[in-house]
Amino acid sequence: MPEYLKEGWRPAAAASPEIVETVSRILLDVEREGLAAIRRYSARFDGWEPDSFIVGPEQVQQARRLVDDELAAHIDFAVRQVTEFARRQRDSLTDLEVRPLPGVVLGHRHLPVGSVGSYIPGGRYPLIASAIMTVAVPKAAGVERVVAVAPPRDGKGVFPPQLHTMALCGADVVVCLGGVQALAALAFGIEGVPAVDMIVGAGNAYVAETKRQLFGRVGIDLIAGPTEVAVIADESAEPRVVAADLLGQAEHGPDSPALLVTTSRAFGEAVLREVERWLETTWPTADVAGKAWRDHGTVIVCATPEEAVEVMDGYAPEHLEVQTADPDWYFERLRNYGSLFLGPHATVAYSDKAIGTNHVLPTRGAARYTGGLWVGKFLKTVTYQRVTPEGSRLVAPATAAIADAELMHGHALTARLRIDS
């Protein structure tokens, strides 16, 4: 049986009734009143009342001037990495056409969604990388129109590095709005900008609940959060590095779970000591990461690697690092994770910011049945058929017989008509 040296990981609770009611009220008001409601809620929640919420080209140019050239070069590197990986993924998805019977042609095509709304968080951390993940990737998929939204920061509009990145990634429209009202603007339209077909991007509990309530009116990527990190490690790993990786992701918020599964009790105890050493000395965000670790940190000792795999697949974490003597052994056996990081030099931070894989990933066990955001999320796989009279003679009898057995005699009639004609 697994041994718990520390237990704290708990699935995130569903949105509170207060959050559900607040989101519902804002969405209803925006649907009924349009821009007037958006202005009211923007003023109330963000103190933001511009003449227009649409960001103009002169503001984009000003943002670029405010971004340090060295940072701009690093952002450009990350954009190229994410875009190139997305393009390679897109190239792997090919259209299909087959002829299973004489006179019958079946096929599928991968068609991009028409328009996407990208929500880029700007609360505790104004996330530059989120603009890359949710604007550059749909553009690589061939989406014609991407509307990027981000909240105002310090009453001065979109955080300049975020705004520069949105423009660099190819956003067609940028809107300065935050929270529920921002997603409502994407779903219902704002200032002549039409409603989008799909909304993507991470956010707080209000953003997640808004996406849940809007699903159906628009498509969504997934309902994610709080972020999660998990590590499988053995004696070959460095306890100080593992401890840092656990705290690194925990800095997202005080409710972010962090999990270590190890096959060595001594190693687990060493990591616990290193976590405390980091928090007591030099960890830069100890106020947030420390609370997350205290309340949601977990360390489990497993008797065998097989048990470690079973335990970790049960958690199905968002991010999963494997720091063991033979990471490929785990690579072949693990099944439930959002993104996998193999070996001591692979870290969640690389994926979160610049390496090329996407950081919008499933949480709360959703990795059991879905992957994260990628170029394929922005494509619709649609099917088609072409049929000749010869093909009808082959397919119509089975179609009509099945339809009659289901008492759907109209369906049967449409099949037999094609034989008769």
Indicate whether 15 pLDDT > 90: no
Ordered by where they begin, the domains of the chain are: 3-12+226-368 (3.40.50.1980), 34-220 (3.40.50.1980), 388-420 (no CATH)
Active site residues: 318-319
Quote the tokens at residue 243.
């401890």
Indicate whether 18 pLDDT > 80: yes
The arithmetic mean of pLDDT across residues 256-276, rounded, is 98
Q: Return d(Cα 341, Cα 359) in angstroms, integer.
A: 12
For residue 231, list its beta bridge partners: 260, 321
| pLDDT of res. 421 | 73
Nearest CA-CA partner of 120 in 150, 146, 145: 150
Q: What is the pLDDT of residues 213-245, one digit of tens each?
A: 999 999 999 998 899 999 999 999 999 999 999
| pLDDT of res. 157 | 96
State which amino acid sits at residue 311.
Answer: V
Nearest CA-CA partner of 336 in 298, 359, 370, 374: 370
Indicate whether 13 pLDDT > 80: no
| pLDDT of res. 11 | 73
